[in-house]
Amino acid sequence: MSFQKLDDLGRRLEAFSHALSILGVDEAVAMAVGGGEARAEAMSALAGMQHRQASAPEIADWIDAAEQEDLSDDQRAAVRELKRQYTNLTCLPVEFVEKQMRTRMRCEQLWRDLRAKKDWHSFEPALDGVIQLVREEAAMRADALKLAPYDALVEQYDPGTRVSDIAPVFNDLKSFLVDFVPRALGAQDNRLSKRPMKALSGSYPIERQRELGLAMMQAVGFDLTHGSLAVSHHPFCGGVPTDVRITTRYKTSEFLSSLMGVLHETGHALYEQNLPKEWAHWPLGKARGMAVHESQSLFVEKQIGRNPAFWAWALPVVERHLGEDWSIEDILPHVHHVERGLIRVDADEVTYPLHIILRFELEQDLVSGKLQTRDLPEAWDAKMQDYLGLSTIDSPGDGPMQDVHWPSGALGYFPSYSLGAMMAAQQWTSIAAAVPDIEADLSAGEFSRINAWRRDNIWSQGSRWSTPELMQRATGAALDATHFKRHLEARYG
């Protein structure tokens, strides 16, 4: 039976995925400095074997045959999603993939060095090499998937989402934000003139911050029998659904950035821990994509974790662990701080989407060829001035060199971040409609009704639906910027 062959294949591929995930976590958390070369060799050999097995030509026949078999609805969905993944995996020639891998890795290495030196001139040819290959990739994927070139790239990160879905909501949000950012900053100035910001600085031992993080994770729903919290240089969520590893980093002088990071990663972890277990070794059982994943992390970090009602419960928990005595009016100005800045990863939830929209617009033009790599600094600066009133023309390191995404060839990825933020707001609206008095739950540190909705509508669905379908089914409507705008108005207006 061909379905069974695909199931067996899934178990073999899952063994590779499991190993690669845990090796990745181990590298960031536990590996000795001298272990990197052998680790890279082992992981690249394993990834190569996995790719060869996952793209074997006979799989196409098994899929065709399985589609003719007498399958349950779940099995049919599993084959459908596997077929989608197989098509995406096999539509590029092997030699092209290898050439692209080498070009990207060289450019990433160069980027690490030249970003620090702010040397756009030396970096540009390498980035241009990557961009040219992305254009080729987009053309080949477009051909195989019957999509427009940039849509074919977005499909890799966010299945089913098209520019025609993204552009209207981003345009709506952009015109809103260009007005709203100055308004939010004015409101903030006004509040601070009445009550100046109180510094949260102090001395917070790492072990206490860790206990605080663990307490918050558990309260929000993280299952510590199927996951853990460790330390790494960059926070992430990794591991496997039965053993989700999240990490954070600590400063002893400040606790809020680590704690908000833990909440963010806990959002990712809840999604992974609650995926449908019986399909864990099929694409059907995996998380839907980057935008939905980001909606889950931002849901916990922003919708829950920066909600004043949440802090009514959280503040005593923080104080119990850190032994300080703050009022909610001391904390909220930090939790809701807004500031125009050049760097995306440092941005707050109000200004963040403008960083994303800028990239979304530029990378479409890069892929179409309308924009050339050499013209990026000027194009970036012009939009940065328009959207945030800041200039990067003299500091390319804070402009088009700031992110690793383009050097690593990941064009089509950036929209996921802000799509996720808007999805989270729309999900919150739906939960608030379904669950009366939801903020009282937050104030009580009670997350079970919220999580029940998310489990039913998001987590348990795995990859059964395209991203737009998933949102439509969960919230009863297509993605719409309204909810996110209302959310910002209410919190920062």
Which residues contribute to the annotated binding site for Zn(2+)?
264, 268, 294
Measured CA to CA, the distance from residue 470 to residue 474 in angstroms comes to 6
Element housing 349 (H / E):
none
Q: Does 19 bind a copy of itself (CB under 8 A)?
A: yes
Of 101, 105, 167, 230, the one binding a copy of itself by CB under 8 A: 230
Contacts of 375 (CB under 8 A, 6+ apart): none
Number of residues interacting with a copy of itself: please give it, by CB under 8 A: 41
- How far lies 327's CA from each of 195, 222, 312, 338, 446, in Å? 12, 27, 9, 20, 21
**Is the CB of 227 or the CB of 396 nearer to a copy of itself?**
227
Q: Does 451 bind a copy of itself (CB under 8 A)?
A: no
Of 1, 41, 94, 144, the one binding a copy of itself by CB under 8 A: 41
Residue 328's CB is within 10 A of a number of other CB atoms, namely 12
Residue 105's CB is within 10 A of a number of other CB atoms, namely 15
| 81 counts as catalytic | no
Residue 327's CB is within 10 A of a number of other CB atoms, namely 9
Q: Which of 137, 155, 265, 272 is catalytic?
A: 265
Cα 40–chain centre separation: 24
Minimum Å gap between C-beta 408 and a copy of itself is 23
Q: How far apart are the first and last CA of the chain?
A: 60
Minimum Å gap between C-beta 121 and a copy of itself is 35
Asked if 6 contacts 66 with a C-beta cutoff of 8 angstroms, the reply is yes
Helix then strand then coil, % of the chain, to nearest 5: 70, 5, 25
SS3 of residue 360 by DSSP: helix
Minimum Å gap between C-beta 460 and a copy of itself is 18
Q: Does 232 bind a copy of itself (CB under 8 A)?
A: no
Measured CA to CA, the distance from residue 152 to residue 139 in angstroms comes to 8
Q: Does 7 bind a copy of itself (CB under 8 A)?
A: no
Of 119, 172, 243, 254, the one binding a copy of itself by CB under 8 A: 243
Q: Does 223 bind a copy of itself (CB under 8 A)?
A: yes
Of 226, 449, 455, 486, the one binding a copy of itself by CB under 8 A: 226
Asked if 271 contacts 470 with a C-beta cutoff of 8 angstroms, the reply is no
Cite the annotated binding site by residue number.
264, 268, 294
Cross-strand bridge partners of residue 243? 240
Measured CA to CA, the distance from residue 487 to residue 355 in angstroms comes to 19
Sign of the CA dihedral running 176, 179, 183, 186: positive
Q: Does 101 bind a copy of itself (CB under 8 A)?
A: no
Q: Does 18 bind a copy of itself (CB under 8 A)?
A: yes
Of 149, 213, 227, 267, the one binding a copy of itself by CB under 8 A: 227
**Is the CB of 13 or the CB of 181 nearer to a copy of itself?**
13
Minimum Å gap between C-beta 64 and a copy of itself is 26
Q: Does 225 bind a copy of itself (CB under 8 A)?
A: yes
Active site residues: 265
Binding residues for a copy of itself (CB under 8 A): 11-12, 14-16, 18-19, 22-23, 25-26, 29-35, 37-39, 41-43, 45-46, 49, 223-228, 230, 240-245, 280
